[in-house]
Amino acid sequence: SYAAKGYTSDRVFAPYTVYKGKAAFSLSPCLPTFTKLDSGTVVVDRRGSMMMVFMHSIGERKYDWEKRQRFALSATEVGSLITMGPQDSCEFFHDPSMLSSNAGQVRKSLSIKPNNNGYFVSLTIVNNLLKTKDQFSVPITAAEFAVMKTACSFALPHIMGWDQITKQQSRGTDGIKPKGGSQVLDLEWEK
């Protein structure tokens, strides 16, 4: 048993997982990567996302990791999720082969729909090339959805890369000095 201290350069894996009778899914933030331009400015290279991984149940307390399926929620899709009210539903469509010659052949859809006091979280993957259809459906409670919303709200600025902006200590300043003290400056701004 270790504390987290020594691991800052390692990959930390701490998904929020909901295990139910027929399937399970986990939720985990996936951080953006950055690239440095010739100008010295650092920009987002690959966008962050909230990664959902679904697994089928294959026995008591056993889930099929080999046949897992993934769905990466973009920042805007996370925005949909965190504003859902008790009776709201949402559905997202992804094409993993978009822009390739196989565009349109595989269709992934994630839906979240009201179910009693909670929700059904479902992933459907239709693959026209393989003639397959894979479906996962996990009923979750209102409390489990609350954890997802709170955790996604926490993670959203991180997957957007805004934590890197607010972490930076040094930025170019225009050398503007307050004239007549900061209180006057305050007042001018407030107008």
Three-class secondary structure of residue 175 per DSSP: coil
User: Of residues 128-167, which lie at the interface with its own copies (CB under 8 A)?
Assistant: 141-147, 150-151, 153-158, 160-167
- Residue closer to its own copies by CB (options 2, 131) is 2
Q: How many residues bind its own copies (CB under 8 A)?
A: 89
In terms of phi and psi (left: phi > 0; alpha: psi -120 to 50; beta: otherwise), the region of 159 is alpha
User: Of residues 24-43, which lie at the interface with its own copies (CB under 8 A)?
Assistant: 28-29, 31-36, 40-43
Task: With contacts defined by CB under 8 A, name the span among 58-66, 108-116, 118-126, 128-136 that binds its own copies.
Answer: 58-66
Binding of its own copies by 7 (CB under 8 A): yes
Binding of its own copies by 10 (CB under 8 A): yes
Say how many Å lie between the first and final Cα of the chain, rounded. Answer: 57
Considering only 38, 59, 101, 174, the residue that binds its own copies (CB under 8 A) is 174
Binding of its own copies by 102 (CB under 8 A): no
Binding of its own copies by 21 (CB under 8 A): no
Binding of its own copies by 51 (CB under 8 A): no
| DSSP letter string, 135-162 | EEEEEE-HHHHHHHHHHHHHHHHHHTTH
> Minimal distance in Å, beta carbon 110 to its own copies?
14
Could you tell me if 123 and 138 are in contact, meaning their C-beta atoms sit under 8 angstroms apart?
A: no
Separation between Cα atoms, residue 110 and residue 17, nearest integer Å: 17
- Residue closer to its own copies by CB (options 43, 130) is 43
- Report the Cα 45 to chain-centroid distance in Å: 16
> Minimal distance in Å, beta carbon 46 to its own copies?
6
Look up residue 6 and give its two tokens.
């020594």
Place of tokens 């469509």: 93
